[in-house]
């Protein structure tokens, strides 16, 4: 499946914490940068996410803000 989302950041899963319904998954995209994602527990199971596995952090352009110091 090819998706319209402009941002697909490749990395490795470094942390998975499941809550009651919502999980937090952390992906190391290299260069010391960790991206945190909040998805359903169900998605974690369906994708078979495991620590150390390859994965992408995917973000729609309209969900990216810009900041300056």
Binding residues for its own copies, rule: CB under 8 A, are 1-9, 13, 17-25, 27, 29-31, 33, 35-40, 42-44, 46-49, 53-69
Q: Which two tokens stand for residue 69?
A: 């110091």
Name the minimum Å distance from CB 34 to its own copies: 9
Report the 3 state secondary structure along 29-45.
CCCCCEEEEEEEHHHHH
Name the minimum Å distance from CB 56 to its own copies: 4
Q: How many CA atoms lie within 13 A of 8 on its CB side?
A: 8
């Amino acid at each position: 499946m090819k998706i319209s989302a402009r941002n697909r950041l490749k990395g490795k899963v470094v942390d998975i914490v499941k809550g009651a319904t919502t999980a937090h998954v952390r992906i190391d995209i290299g260069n010391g940068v960790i991206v945190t994602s909040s998805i359903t527990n169900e998605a974690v199971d369906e994708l078979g996410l495991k620590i150390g596995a390859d994965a992408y952090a995917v973000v729609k352009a309209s969900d990216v803000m810009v900041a300056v110091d």
